[in-house]
Amino acid sequence: MGELTEKAKGLANEAAGNVKQAAGKATDNERLRAEGEAQERKGEAQNLKGKVQGALGDKV
């Protein structure tokens, strides 16, 4: 996968994670909040992977 694909997937996961966290906080659902946090971290990692791929020319 290319740089832009990873970045896009990362941003989508970060956004979905933020929504889950907010819903978890609003409903006092700790499990949903934790899932949102994990998904946000996954998105951050994907975004970072995309940046590294861009810097190294998709050789990662």
Contact 14, 43 (CB under 8 A): yes
> How much is the pTM?
0.84
Residues 14 and 7: their CA atoms lie apart, in Å, by 10
pLDDT in the model for residue 24:
97
Residue 13 DSSP symbol: H
pLDDT in the model for residue 11:
95
User: Tens digit of pLDDT for each residue in 4-53?
Assistant: 899 999 999 999 999 999 999 999 999 999 999 999 999 999 999 999 98
Question: How many independent structural domains does the chain possess?
Answer: 1
pLDDT band with cut points at 50, 70 and 90 for residue 1: low
pLDDT in the model for residue 59:
57
Residue 12 DSSP symbol: H
What is the span of the domain harbouring residue 49? 3-56
pLDDT in the model for residue 56:
86
